[in-house]
A and B are shown apart, each in its own frame.
Chain A
Amino acid sequence: MTENKLAQRNYYGKALADLARNNPSVVVLDADLADSTKTSEFKKIAPERFIEVGIAEQNMIGTASGLAASGKTVFASTFAVFASGRCWEQIRLAVAYPKLNVKIVATHCGISVGEDGASHQALEDIALMRALPNMTVISPADAYEAYAATMAISDFDGPVYMRMGRSEFPTVTDEGSEFVIGRASVLREGDDVTLVGTGQMVALCMEAASILLEEGIDAEVVNMSTIKPLDTGTLGASMEKTGCLVTAEEHSIIGGLGSAVAEFASGEMPMPLEMVGTKDTFGESGTPDQLLEKYGLTSKDIAEAAKRSLERKRKLRA
């Protein structure tokens, strides 16, 4: 696999364009951010099925629910901080509770949004969406997976929240790979420690595995692209093999992937777990790389966490 840097939202746009051509039941809503979320690609092909709602996210969700109740497959997009936060209770009542076929696809997740600062950096959206009954939560690892996941959720009947990044980052999957909702994949096999990543942190987990290998540590990398329902089969098998793990997410460690893994581990398979994510804090303005570094979200941070996790395992076994 050659390294290739691509933005997920561009591949979301490509997928929507294909859906515009091939799936007449798809309707797309956006709240004045179509050029940024790339729903504009759908609008170019099927303008009659593109509904601009203006800067009114709560109404977007209610309108989406009404369309879904009338048989439409509805995609509603805006930035992650608005998509999950501004209209959380509308999603709860109008979408999640009645299990309506609405896909809330949010771009600009995480701290790598960059210069716009904390107001625009969603670090709590996984937690907010994961807490809702009936909600499926997806966070693709790269642009190719963003495309495949978009196609997969268009065929799935029910509420979905999918988060994607703003900027370009390395791909870790192959273009054209199948995406199965609720199925994690092992991208690198190893015996010493499991690195569970989601979103662009999967690429950083792969980098961390290379760093660790130089120190003689053989890490397994799991791409947890569906956070809910959690693929406890793949996760549990890896945990059983390695006996310690690290979670990595561009999200708060409160309520996100780390919490989801901890909920499983504490009940089924207690073992050393280190979480890489933001530590109960808001972000700030800066370049994506500066912010990832400042907030402890680099491959080096993942490698360090892996060593801590391994050390705890050794102590337990001593």
Chain B
Amino acid sequence: MDYTIEELEKKANLLRLDVIEATSEARSGHPGGSLSSADLMAALYFRVIRHDPANPQWEDRDRFILSKGHAAPILYSALAESGYFPREDLMTLRKIGSNLQGHPVRGKVPGVEMSTGSLGQGLSMACGIALAGKLDSKDYKTFCLLGDGELQSGQNWEAAMLAHHYHLNNLIAFVDRNRLQITGSTECTMSLDPLPDKWKAFGWNVIIINGHSMIQILEACSKAKQSETNPTVIILDTVKGKGVSFMENNCEFHGKACKIEERDRATEELVCRI
């Protein structure tokens, strides 16, 4: 089904609503970085990614790795809304016995390709999947969503080097550049700028966009898919907590769920945009 831009924007807000409700029900979790990537996730799961929720092991599917595994709620929401598992399961997030663990676990949830949550590892995993695609002459793409804070971890740059060395043009990374990490500003904690220059120096194609513009996201993905030799990184300029006024740019909500009254306020703001 082809969704219009407006429908995709609404989907993004539906995913946001799921995140607020699930984390609030769990009384823990990471809503801030889930909300900042909601537009991207809606674009990926409802337009960009080639997948079949009825057949999660389909060999030719595009792969998506959530390197910033703490944003699990937005991934679970995208998977549930795509039909990988029932939406009702979302409310079991982080509860004992649930498959929806605090951070994504391969094998527990259909559609979750790799276990993540310890930051800095997803891009390496994505490199392995992309290399396998090359070895097997498959045309699937591998997408990997990175947080900006996690780029402080050196393993990312080992992976960035490898992706360029092996010409992984089938690999597309996204950086959710919301400029906040748990301690506060990324630039005060451990500066990442000039971030695009770092990726360029490692041989990647770099595309910088407004991460809340559906049109820009779709155009960037389409361009990245055309790359003939190099991997591509799309740096999404985003707002942490995007979509809920009192959560925006508030790093308090990096790892804290909404209390009941906050959840109700957030819901009120979001439902009228779905």
Chain A residues with a Cβ under 8 A of chain B: 27, 48-49, 51, 53-54, 56, 58-59, 61-72, 89-90, 93-94, 97-99
Q: Chain B: how many interface residues by the 8 Å CB criterion? A: 32
Nearest CB in chain A to that of B134: its residue: A48
Q: Are A59 and B127 in contact (CB under 8 A)?
A: yes
Q: Are B135 and A49 in contact (CB under 8 A)?
A: yes
**Cα distance, A277 to B51, chains bound together (Å):** 53
Q: Which one, B7-15, B114-122, B214-222, is touching chain A? A: B114-122
Q: Are A69 and B155 in contact (CB under 8 A)?
A: no
**Cα distance, A94 to B129, chains bound together (Å):** 13
Q: Are A98 and B129 in contact (CB under 8 A)?
A: no
Q: Does B159 contact A (CB under 8 A)?
A: yes
Q: Does B131 contact A (CB under 8 A)?
A: yes
Residue interface mask B137-180, A partner, CB < 8 A = 1: 00000000000000000110011011001100000000000000
- The interface residues of chain A lying within 8 Å CB-to-CB of B127 are 59, 62-63, 66
Q: Which one, B79-87, B105-113, B201-209, is touching chain A? A: B105-113
Chain B: interface secondary structure? Answer: helix
Say yes or no: A70-B133 contact (C-beta < 8 A), given A62-B124, A93-B121.
Answer: yes
Q: Does B126 contact A (CB under 8 A)?
A: yes
Q: Does B128 contact A (CB under 8 A)?
A: yes
Q: Are A63 and B161 in contact (CB under 8 A)?
A: no
The listed residue (A27, A51, A61, A68) touching B124 by CB distance below 8 A is A61
Nearest CB in chain B to that of A71: its residue: B132
Q: Does B125 contact A (CB under 8 A)?
A: yes
The listed residue (B107, B114, B166) touching A65 by CB distance below 8 A is B114
Q: Does B244 contact A (CB under 8 A)?
A: no
Q: Are B135 and A69 in contact (CB under 8 A)?
A: no
The listed residue (A54, A62, A72, A97) touching B132 by CB distance below 8 A is A72
Q: Are A90 and B121 in contact (CB under 8 A)?
A: yes
Q: Are A66 and B162 in contact (CB under 8 A)?
A: no
Q: Are A56 and B162 in contact (CB under 8 A)?
A: yes
Known pairs A56-B162, A98-B115 / 15 extra A-B pairs, C-beta < 8 Å: A49-B135, A56-B161, A59-B124, A63-B125, A66-B131, A67-B128, A68-B128, A70-B132, A71-B132, A72-B132, A72-B135, A90-B121, A94-B115, A98-B106, A99-B107
Chain A: interface secondary structure? Answer: helix
Say yes or no: A67-B118 contact (C-beta < 8 A), given A58-B155, A59-B155, A62-B127.
Answer: no
- The interface residues of chain B lying within 8 Å CB-to-CB of A99 are 107
Would you give the shortest CB distance from A103 to chain B, in whole angstroms? 14
**Cα distance, A59 to B130, chains bound together (Å):** 14
Nearest CB in chain B to that of A55: its residue: B158
Nearest CB in chain B to that of A95: its residue: B115
The listed residue (B113, B128, B136, B165) touching A62 by CB distance below 8 A is B128
Would you give the shortest CB distance from A27 to chain B, in whole angstroms? 7
**Cα distance, A62 to B122, chains bound together (Å):** 7
- The interface residues of chain B lying within 8 Å CB-to-CB of A51 are 131, 166
The listed residue (B113, B128, B158) touching A58 by CB distance below 8 A is B158
Say yes or no: A54-B128 contact (C-beta < 8 A), given A66-B114, A70-B133, A89-B118.
Answer: no
- The interface residues of chain A lying within 8 Å CB-to-CB of B154 are 58
Would you give the shortest CB distance from B60 to chain A, in whole angstroms? 12
Would you give the shortest CB distance from B154 to chain A, in whole angstroms? 8
Q: Are B135 and A62 in contact (CB under 8 A)?
A: no
Residue interface mask B50-82, A partner, CB < 8 A = 1: 000000000000000000000000000000000
The listed residue (B125, B131, B136) touching A94 by CB distance below 8 A is B125
Nearest CB in chain A to that of B117: its residue: A93
**Cα distance, A48 to B122, chains bound together (Å):** 24
Q: Are B158 and A70 in contact (CB under 8 A)?
A: no
Q: Are A93 and B118 in contact (CB under 8 A)?
A: yes
The listed residue (A27, A90, A98) touching B155 by CB distance below 8 A is A90
Would you give the shortest CB distance from A241 to chain B, in whole angstroms? 42
Nearest CB in chain B to that of A51: its residue: B131
**Cα distance, A51 to B166, chains bound together (Å):** 9
Say yes or no: A65-B132 contact (C-beta < 8 A), given A94-B114, A97-B105.
Answer: no
**Cα distance, A59 to B131, chains bound together (Å):** 13
Q: Are B162 and A48 in contact (CB under 8 A)?
A: no
Q: Are B161 and A62 in contact (CB under 8 A)?
A: no
Would you give the shortest CB distance from A212 to chain B, in whole angstroms? 49
> What are 27 of the A-B contact pairs (CB < 8 Å)?
A48-B135, A49-B135, A51-B131, A53-B162, A54-B158, A54-B162, A56-B155, A58-B155, A59-B124, A59-B155, A59-B162, A61-B124, A62-B122, A63-B159, A65-B125, A65-B128, A66-B126, A66-B130, A66-B131, A69-B132, A70-B129, A70-B136, A72-B135, A90-B155, A93-B115, A93-B118, A94-B115
6 interchain residue pairs of minimum CB distance = A66-B128, A62-B124, A70-B132, A59-B158, A56-B158, A66-B129
The listed residue (A58, A67, A90, A98) touching B131 by CB distance below 8 A is A67
Nearest CB in chain A to that of B69: its residue: A93
Say yes or no: A62-B155 contact (C-beta < 8 A), given A49-B135, A56-B161.
Answer: yes
Q: Are A93 and B116 in contact (CB under 8 A)?
A: yes
**Cα distance, A56 to B124, chains bound together (Å):** 11
- The interface residues of chain B lying within 8 Å CB-to-CB of A62 are 121-125, 127-128, 155, 159
Q: Are A63 and B118 in contact (CB under 8 A)?
A: no
- The interface residues of chain A lying within 8 Å CB-to-CB of B125 are 62-63, 65-66, 69, 94
**Cα distance, A147 to B113, chains bound together (Å):** 33
Would you give the shortest CB distance from B70 to chain A, in whole angstroms? 13
The listed residue (A49, A56, A59, A69) touching B114 by CB distance below 8 A is A69
